[in-house]
Amino acid sequence: MRGRVDVLYRNIGKPIFFKLDPEKAHHLVVGGLGRASGVVGADAVMRGMYGVSETPDLAVDLFGLHFPTPVGLAAGLDKNAQAVKGFSSIGFGFMEVGTVTPKGQPGNEQPRLFRLPPDEALINRMGFNNEGAEAMAKRLSALKERRIPVAVNIGKNKATPNEKANGDYEACIQALFPYGDFFVVNISSPNTPDLRSLQHGSELASLLEAVKNEMSRQAQIHGGDKAVLVKIAPDVSDAELEFMVDTISTSGVSGIIATNTTLSREGLTHGHAKETGGLSGKPLRERSTEIVSRIYKQTGGSLPIIGSGGIFTARDAYDKIRAGASLVEIYTALIYEGPEVNRKLHSGLRDLLARDGFNHISEAVGANHR
């Protein structure tokens, strides 16, 4: 049955989706999953088709949360938390929603999402298009149960100057603190002007201090501490990365997501390579793994890392884990491989752990450094 489901997507679903405009296909999938979740029994059907059974060797406890599998969905696909139940039913161990900004905004002009099939990559310049923090809070508050942890990825509005960016991140936390299981500070999208400048200099320390203070205030109001991670870009020098990691470590946040999309176009063959925006997919794999490794080495493994970028196979995920990632995320692989990818990743990771004599995934984290 599982093999037939995989063939169904590869031979029927994917060709249909890839004939559609990428953004229309995106909305069709997210909207469809969201609507399906309202149909009695639909989630059970999706779990039967694509769900991943929790196994003791791959379940992870981190940030005070339980992750049934180490593979999550990266931010950007479910920008408005429309399909949390749907994505929770197709084998993910956690997911990010967003990036969300305090006020809703349309994002950049279309077209703004491009497929590069020969490179198994995507380029997007969406520009944080979303309905705003209050709309997301309303959707998340309506969820009666959560099968997996949900992270809220927060950013600033395009019209907000960097010197006032702290207020936007604080506003997102104020609106969404009760509804996110943990939070991700996005300072690394290439599609909001000057956003990446917040990664450097005193701006980063100031922003993280403001975020931590606001998280503490909301914890006092609502009860319960929640983890905050920072998502960084791959397009940094060794010196910039070292400074960033040192600042993030000193700030007291809970971890790092490495990495966001890249501006690099090295090795691409498709004509869309000339499009501006952030590149995701296989071309990002090696660079993001290198960043994970450098962070782990610099921090001695003391700062948890979620590895993201170019993961298509269990080997790709395992490389990031051995480099230092405690959890991993996919996005582009879901588009190219379909929802069966989660079962393949889970099965392959179990095989790789057994091959190397590890009883639990935590034993493999950072193994390259030992």
Whether the pLDDT of residue 220 is over 60: the answer is: yes
Do 64 and 225 meet the contact criterion of CB atoms below 8 Å apart?
Answer: yes
pTM of the prediction?
A: 0.95
Q: 172 has which bridge partners?
A: none
Active-site hit among 37, 189, 251, 326: 189
pLDDT of the residue at 252: 95
pLDDT bin (cut points 50, 70, 90) of residue 1 is: very low
pLDDT of the residue at 4: 56
189 catalytically annotated: yes
Structural domains of the chain sorted by starting position, each given as residue range(s) with its CATH number in brackets = 1-362 (3.20.20.70)
Q: Which amino acids are annotated as binding site for substrate, given as ranges?
A: 79, 124-128, 186, 191, 260-261
Q: Which amino acids are annotated as binding site for FMN, given as ranges?
A: 75-79, 99, 153, 186, 231, 259, 281, 310, 331-332
Q: 182 has which bridge partners?
A: 151
pLDDT bin (cut points 50, 70, 90) of residue 15 is: confident
Q: 128-177, pLDDT tens digit by residue? A: 999 999 999 999 999 988 999 999 999 999 999 999 999 999 999 999 99
pLDDT bin (cut points 50, 70, 90) of residue 6 is: low
pLDDT of the residue at 32: 87
